[in-house]
Structure 1
Amino acid sequence: MSLLDEVNEKRKEIRTDGYAMSISEWTSLYENKEIDIHPEFQRFFRWSDIQKTNLIESILLGIPIPPIFVSQRPDGVWDVVDGLQRLSTIYQFMGVLKDENSNNIDPLTLTGTKYLPSLEGKKWNNPDSEQSSFTQELRLIVKRSKINVSIILKESDETAKYDLFQRLNTGGSDLSQQEVRNCILVMLNKNFYNWLQSLASYTIFQECISLSDRPLSESYDLELALRFVIFTLIDRKELNRIGDVGIFITEKMRKIATDKSFDREFWEKLFKETFDLLYLELAEESFKRYNTTKSKFSGGFLLSQYESIAYGVGYAVSQGIKPENIREKAASIWGDTQYTDWVGSGITATRRLPRIVPYGREVFTGDN
């Protein structure tokens, strides 16, 4: 098949439409529950009040707003694929935004800007102060302003909206890779997302990974839980075909989340048994570098240590083996070139994983 044939074939799989809609129409869709902005996503998007004010300023000044991308569900409701923060800001400013529990969110109070310093302290409607409220004329300017919508129609390939979400929210986005995955999971299978979150919230697991506030705020603990599920029992041949690790994790996640035969009970049991064992012997030192000179673990969380020890112990437990001397073995790998040669700077995860995942299995089970 030629490149042109491939293009023509794939173009048939994605049906789209698009037009301009007034903000009044966007608000009506939200109030009538004809659009789903996924309030669960709000925890992942971190616009400041200044950024929110800048959007309202752009609307008032007539500066074009990037289009909103939506996907049309079988029931006709639109899923917001890109534009959540823009719509949330508008809805919050107008006082109609609700959280994931359907509770009203406090309306937005604007800050002054370079071009419109008089926005300072302004609200859409402040019952206690007419002076700090938008006038009817200003409200109409906002309501009549238009934002384009690009619609992925329901006749499209069912994975199109997830692909689009990933493309639009990766790279230049403020979201971490896992936060993008979390959003995809909520759209794809919210129950699976909740289950994964429950694994990541397991107190013993949190003690073992001992992350600082920033990676926790970016959902790195969920990524580590997901990596455990993906890599602990992965076939060695598949390890050699990973390619880009971030893309690989996302694609595996999507397959697992839609696999009705995926055994959550098995994985939850394996996950907890693994980290219970690690906690007993290593606790918060589980995934720290071992200093052979000082004979102690130190430093912060190390992913390569996690990949060898967590997956290695998990693999052993899955085979009915209870690993012994975990602490000693975790320390010993730092004196073994089979490990140290593959965890230095300049070694990509694509090259590292096929080496240290089997190595970790061998350390804790003798099975390569």
Structure 2
Amino acid sequence: MTDYAKLRIKRARLDIKIVLNKSDSGSKYELFDRLNTGGSAATPQEVRNCLLLMINADFFKRLAKLGKYQNFIDCLPLTEKQIAEQYPLELVVRFITLRKASSTDLSQMPDLGPWLTDRITNLAENKEFDWNLEERCFYRTFDALAQTLQDDTFRRFSHVKSRAEGAFLISVFEVIALGIGYYMEDENFAVSNDKVMTTHREIWNNKQFTKGTGSGVRPTTRLPVTIPLGRELFKP
């Protein structure tokens, strides 16, 4: 190292921010957000991961465990980029936060991303959140789907070719995974393989679904269609 470089280092000013354990989550997130602007932008789920780790590390660990559940993974035809950007974990967040979302939640949601962040961080701060119940609903849902359609579960079904094809579709996830998951709190509830397969095929003939999930439809417009539809289609 040259003398000039040493002198530059010696004279450089370091901006140090101190965040204490007792600092509120808002302050911690503000610091993270400032640091993040200097490099590659984090995805929304990566930001949520940071928040959850600061708020409740145990909550995040249990969330991450669901994201690695094999039957869940087997249902997701995701790209390497989606996996690298934590999209499977975002789907877990969507499942937990939207599974029992009320009609008011769905109709009055201003923007999906911030809503997901607010809802999952609120759950992380809720000491009465029933993790055992949520895990049971998640496992039962994806156990049923993995043994039926596996990675075709959330693809488009082509009636012309009589098979599923294409990439993962979030609209199908909202109908099928959240539709089934809504009822999984009832231990007596079960969904047959035939019911899953028939619903997967027939939603593409459902005008309510195709009109409400077309290209350019915003998530806040789509969700009031897909989630109630899934609950209706899988209603016992």
User: Does the pair score TM above 0.5?
Assistant: yes
Aligned to 1:352: 222
Q: Under a length normalisation based on structure 2, what TM-score does the superposition of the two structures give?
A: 0.90
Q: Distance in 1 between matches of 2:220 and 2:8?
A: 52
Q: Answer yes or no: is the 8 Å Cα contact 2:19–2:28 preserved in 1.
A: no
Question: Residue 321 in 1 paired to residue 184 in 2?
Answer: no
Amino acid of the residue matched to residue 299 of structure 1?
A: G
Q: Which amino acid aligns with 2:169?
A: L
Q: 1:204 maps to what in 2?
A: 71
Q: CA deviation at 1:155?
A: 9.3
Aligned AA (1:303): I
Q: Which 5+ residue runs of structure 1 have no aligned equivalent?
A: 1-133
User: Taking structure 1 as reference, are residues 185 and 363 closer, same or farther at Cα in structure 2, changes over 3 Å only?
Assistant: same
Q: Which residue of 2 aligns with 1:183?
A: 50
Partner of 2:30: 164
Q: 1:216 to 1:323 in 2, by over 3 A?
A: same
Q: For 1:249 and 1:143, locate their aligned partners in 2 and report how far apart those are by CA, in whole Å.
A: 45
Using CA pairs below 8 Å that are at least 6 residues apart, which structure has the higher relative contact order? 2
Is 2:203 aligned against 1:333? yes
Task: After TM superposition, give the deviation of residue 193 of structure 1 in Å.
Answer: 1.1
The 8 Å contact of residues 292 and 335 in structure 1, kept in 2 or not, is answered as no
CA pair 162-272 structure 1, distance change in 2 beyond 3 A: same
1:228: Cα distance to partner? 0.3
Query: Does the 8 Å CA contact 2:133/2:185 hold for their aligned counterparts?
Result: no
Q: Would you say the 8 A contact 1:317–1:323 is kept in 2?
A: no
Distance 1:139 1:269 in 2: 59
- Structure 2: runs of 5 or more not aligned: none
Identity %: 34
Structure having the higher strand fraction is 1
CA RMSD of aligned residues (A): 2.3
Query: Which is greater in Rg?
Result: 1
Per-residue Cα deviation, 1:43-79 (whole angstroms, up to 9, x for no partner): xxxxxxxxxxxxxxxxxxxxxxxxxxxxxxxxxxxxx
From the two aligned structures, give the one with the greater helix fraction.
2
Q: 1:326 to 1:154 in 2, by over 3 A?
A: closer
- 1:31 maps to none
Q: 1:179 aligns to what SS in structure 2? A: helix
The yes-or-no answer on 1:253 pairing with 2:120 is yes
**Of 133, 137, 154, which aligns to 1:270?**
137
- Judging changes above 3 Å, is the alpha-carbon distance between structure 1 residues 139 and 190 closer, same or farther for their aligned structure 2 residues? farther
Change (3 A) 1:226 1:141: same
Give the drift of 1:260. Answer: 0.3
235-244 vs 277-286, which deviates more? Answer: 235-244
**In structure 1, distance between residues paired with 2:106 and 2:162:** 32
For this pair of structures, how many residues does the alignment match?
232
